[in-house]
Structure 1
Amino acid sequence: MTFTEQTARDWNNDLALIRDAARQAGEIALSHFGKSPEVWWKLEGRSPVSAADFASNDRLHMLLLGARPDYGWLSEETDDDGARLKRETLFVVDPIDGTRAFINGEKTWCVSVAVVHRGSPVAGVLFAPALEEEFFAVAGGPAVLNGQPIAVSAARPGEVSEIAVAEDMLKSFNPAFRSTLRRIRHVPSLAYRLAMVAAGRIDGTVVKRNSHDWDLAAADLILERAGGRLVDMQGKRLVYNRADVQHGVLCGAAEHVLDSLVAGLDAG
């Protein structure tokens, strides 16, 4: 058997652990939602972080490393000391993916938690408490939303594809290809956008450069197990837990639109 085929059984205990932890962290974040939590700005004022992010992160750190002290740790809200690079398995965490939405009172934010083993996600959960949605997957198993298996959209010949993409990137496609796409309203949470693709609500999304492992790992696995793929501009799957956790331009989509999106971006 391949690694992926043999691990559906092996990683289920970790999946149960991260589902419980994500739910507890999500309830903490939800207790701050709509109550104007204190907000700070990082990365030269371009990225917000709230008191809810830190509270959620603290709960995840306590629960996850308390249960698996031999695992590594990578979180958006924890300083990265590089120790994770010596660990074969680690938790990759975003305590609130979509902080801008969270601060603005929009419900499309989620807690993202993945277990990454040898560079690949093997268990992942996205918990969106304001929407009462939980997406999860384990290597070799199905992608699940609120207890029901999900799948990416099927090809619809002659119909336009719904894509989450920045307006400036959409304009870079040639006019003929652009006419086959319909851009949806922006969703700040990258993880949730990929979950929308996994659930077949949209056909694909284009990710601008400088996303990070914590934005992607859990959603990447959920999308894969739903029948889609997240790839770079060479069509390659991502490798996680590198020294540099940033990524270039990416496409996540159902198979019927993925290659065209990558080719259109490359041509643009």
Structure 2
Amino acid sequence: MPDADAEKLRLADLALIAEAAAAAGRIALGFFGNQPRAWTKGADSPVTEADIASDRYLHETLLAARPGYGWLSEETADTPDRLTRERIFIVDPIDGTRGFMEGSLDWCVSVAVVAGGRPVAGVLAVPARGELFEATLGGGARLNGHPLRAIAPEAGAGLRFSGPMRHQRALAGAGLAMGERRVTPSLAYRLALVAAGRLDVATASPDARDWDLAAADLLVHEAGGTLHDAAGRPVRYNRPDPRHGALVATVPGLAEAAAGPVGRAEVEAERRRRS
């Protein structure tokens, strides 16, 4: 596909998913604070009727507009069909469901279009905060229409961090000066805060899934930051197994310094689990 045609498709996909994510966010917002019905799936993962309503709307709306695209969502049964598609929607209808249930404002609707294993368009709708993050590959990242830039911290400033405590301890142990720690129930929103310049480092423990990451990954990279695994490799999407290992998102200049300590922290955590 010629570059001009590819860019045109990315922009069309962005317009589609931005409108759909915002509408799904409004659906979920109607349940927010109103004690929606909830249950547990898997080992200990909460889901509410708001998740299902948002997911149903996104599934119907997006695939009606792009019937040739694949589909991967936290709240839809996975099938191998997606692996055969050139493009795929990767969706989390509510990222941060536990926080949503507890009244936190830091939950979001995450929608990405992935092609060739990497996101090419991504949106996070954060309706309780009135925020809409958008990005396209090569087109930059924006928050409510304003360009985003992940900016390196000033020399000597403590790093603004969000992630597991063991990662914070590992970063401090590696000689990085730690400042404010922010707790967010949504991993996608946590990563987006790096893109927005509100955090310097955000980390994820192993077992994050494609739907937690894809849209936020593009936001971080298009804002000038990085998201990578503990070995410094970029994240690949739409593989048979959507799970990932420990991940680190940083503003410029911190990638190598942060990745090593986080990787060692996860090795130590695994050793303790097995002992």
- TM-score w.r.t. the length of structure 2 is 0.92
Code of the residue aligned with 1:96 in structure 2: it is I
**Equivalent residue in structure 1 for 2:196, among 192, 195, 199:** 199
Code of the residue aligned with 1:244 in structure 2: it is D
**Is the Cα–Cα contact under 8 Å of residues 25 and 95 in structure 1 kept in the other structure?**
yes
Code of the residue aligned with 2:223 in structure 1: it is A
Determine helix, strand or coil for the equivalent of 1:144: strand
**Equivalent residue in structure 1 for 2:154, among 153, 156, 165:** 156
- 1:234 is displaced (CA, Å) by 1.4
Determine helix, strand or coil for the equivalent of 1:206: strand
**Is the Cα–Cα contact under 8 Å of residues 109 and 125 in structure 2 kept in the other structure?**
yes
Residue 32 of structure 1 corresponds to 31
Tell me if 1:109 matches 2:107: yes
Tell me if 1:243 matches 2:240: yes
For residues 69-115 of structure 1, what are the alpha-carbon distances to aligned partners after superposition, in whole Å with 9 as ceiling and x for unaligned? Answer: 11000000000011101111010000000101110011100000000
- 1:21 is displaced (CA, Å) by 0.6
Residue 65 of structure 1 corresponds to 63
**Is the Cα–Cα contact under 8 Å of residues 177 and 264 in structure 1 kept in the other structure?**
no
Q: 1:174 to 1:32 in 2, by over 3 A?
A: closer
Distance in structure 2 (CA, Å) of the matches to 1:245 and 1:157:
38
Tell me if 1:230 matches 2:214: no
Code of the residue aligned with 1:97 in structure 2: it is D
**Is the Cα–Cα contact under 8 Å of residues 41 and 49 in structure 1 kept in the other structure?**
yes
Residue 16 of structure 1 corresponds to 15
**Cα-Cα RMSD:** 1.8
Distance in structure 2 (CA, Å) of the matches to 1:232 and 1:211:
11
Residue 41 of structure 2 corresponds to 42
Distance in structure 1 (CA, Å) of the matches to 2:73 and 2:174:
41
> Which runs of structure 2 are paired with 1:165-204 in the superposition (5 Å)?
165-173=163-171, 175=173, 177-178=175-176, 180-204=177-201
- 1:173 is displaced (CA, Å) by 4.1
Could you list the runs of 5+ residues in structure 2 that have no partner in the other structure?
266-275
Q: 1:152 to 1:207 in 2, by over 3 A?
A: same
Distance in structure 2 (CA, Å) of the matches to 1:249 and 1:128:
25
Could you list the runs of 5+ residues in structure 1 that have no partner in the other structure?
none
Tell me if 1:219 matches 2:234: no
Distance in structure 2 (CA, Å) of the matches to 1:217 and 1:87:
17
Between the two proteins, the alignment pairs up a number of residues equal to 265
Code of the residue aligned with 1:258 in structure 2: it is A
Distance in structure 1 (CA, Å) of the matches to 2:103 and 2:20:
23
Residue 79 of structure 1 corresponds to 77
